[in-house]
Chain A
């Protein structure tokens, strides 16, 4: 292997991420090549400097603050409740409309049943928008990060 190829894999070598056969080849090369050894030494110095940066000071109140801010329950339960509430509302509206129709048979100016009109308003796409739970958490599961600064 020539120096260019070695240098390209030197970072992964430092991170211990190479297959053992390749690792041995690089070790052998390093024993004989001063230039590549200097590269690695410089890389090791960089890592030491990065690791010497002090981490943020520990905040003993952090867990308590998070716990105090927790919402009532995790999302699925909340969503289930919300869905149940909407289902109840729909049942009430349609049942109400059905009862009105069977009992009175009253119609509005367009000849439509008032309760049916109300139901159709609820069924407008915009009204459905109210039901859509806004949550960007779903992108957690595709895992693909293409954010580029």
Chain B
């Protein structure tokens, strides 16, 4: 069904021309990357799948606005970024109000897939790192996730975020410094507790 010779733009043209079933080609091409992106941003795999689903519905609805300049990836990651940041803002509000009401909704651990066959200790280290990632300021996290997990160049990150390349360099550099510090603290058994409030 997915003819790899067809570019994204050609598939888009086909969908807009009435072959809506061809949209599945785009979903198959990008779903694992979008889910991965959202999962790293939210730290929650189940939420990531549900947000990613909404992202694709939004992509479909906004397809007529895509300018077909061989930059489909930037187009859909802009949508994914907007929806993920909105979700994070909403969650922050929910957590705030639940605290105000004395509830502890936010104490529920975010969902992770069942651990891979790794030994217990490694699983714990992975969880700690996921936690550190989630605690990064959102702009730093966004830039780092696009760089490390999506292997975007700074220029491609600029296309998705609208930030300048120097700003992206600074954000990523700070994110790495912060994570390195967090890991050092964690390995010395002093993982910061205060920052956990940001979750």
Contacts of B173 in A (CB 8 A): 8, 10-12
Q: Tell yes or no: A62 within 8 A of B by CB.
A: yes
Quick one: which of A8, A70, A139 has the most chain B CB within 10 A? A70
By the criterion CB–CB under 8 Å, are A55 and B32 in contact?
A: yes
Contacts of A50 in B (CB 8 A): 129, 133, 148-149, 179
By the criterion CB–CB under 8 Å, are B78 and A143 in contact?
A: yes
Q: Which of B27, B32, B58, B169 contacts A137 (CB 8 A)?
A: B58
Contacts of B58 in A (CB 8 A): 137
Contacts of A76 in B (CB 8 A): 64-65
Task: Name the interface residues of B41-99: CB closer than 8 Å to any CB of A.
Answer: 45, 48-49, 52-53, 56-58, 60-65, 75, 78-79, 81-82, 85, 88-89, 92
Q: How far is the CA of A77 from the CA of B20 in the complex (A)?
A: 13
By the criterion CB–CB under 8 Å, are B113 and A54 in contact?
A: yes
Contacts of A147 in B (CB 8 A): 85, 89, 138-139
By the criterion CB–CB under 8 Å, are B78 and A56 in contact?
A: no
Q: How far is the CA of A54 from the CA of B138 in the complex (A)?
A: 21
Q: How far is the CA of A52 from the CA of B115 in the complex (A)?
A: 13
Q: Tell yes or no: B14 within 8 A of A by CB.
A: no
Task: Name the interface residues of A49-104: CB closer than 8 Å to any CB of B.
Answer: 49-59, 62-63, 65-67, 69-71, 73-77
By the criterion CB–CB under 8 Å, are B159 and A143 in contact?
A: yes
Number of interface residues of B (CB under 8 A): 66
Question: Could you tell me the distance in whole angstroms from the C-beta of B160 to the nearest C-beta in chain A?
Answer: 8
Q: A46-B179, A70-B57, A71-B61 are in contact. Are A11 and B169 (CB under 8 A)?
A: yes
Q: How far is the CA of A133 from the CA of B187 in the complex (A)?
A: 53
By the criterion CB–CB under 8 Å, are A66 and B53 in contact?
A: yes
What are the interface flags for B157-183 relative to A under an 8 Å C-beta threshold, 1 for contact and 0 otherwise? 001111101000100110010011001
Contacts of A130 in B (CB 8 A): none
Q: Tell yes or no: B11 within 8 A of A by CB.
A: no
Contacts of B142 in A (CB 8 A): 145
**Residue ranges of B at the interface with A (Cβ–Cβ < 8 Å):** 15-16, 20-21, 23-24, 27-28, 31-32, 35-36, 39, 45, 48-49, 52-53, 56-58, 60-65, 75, 78-79, 81-82, 85, 88-89, 92, 113, 116, 125-126, 129-130, 133, 137-139, 142, 147-149, 153-154, 159-163, 165, 169, 172-173, 176, 179-180, 183, 198
- Lowest 6 A-B CB distances belong to which pairs? A143-B162, A76-B64, A149-B138, A11-B173, A144-B162, A56-B45
27 contacts between A and B (CB under 8 A): A11-B176, A12-B173, A15-B172, A49-B125, A50-B133, A53-B126, A53-B130, A55-B149, A56-B36, A56-B48, A62-B53, A63-B28, A63-B31, A69-B53, A71-B61, A74-B62, A77-B64, A137-B61, A137-B62, A139-B82, A140-B65, A143-B78, A143-B162, A145-B85, A147-B85, A147-B138, A149-B139
**Residue ranges of A at the interface with B (Cβ–Cβ < 8 Å):** 8-12, 15, 17, 42-43, 46-47, 49-59, 62-63, 65-67, 69-71, 73-77, 136-137, 139-145, 147-149
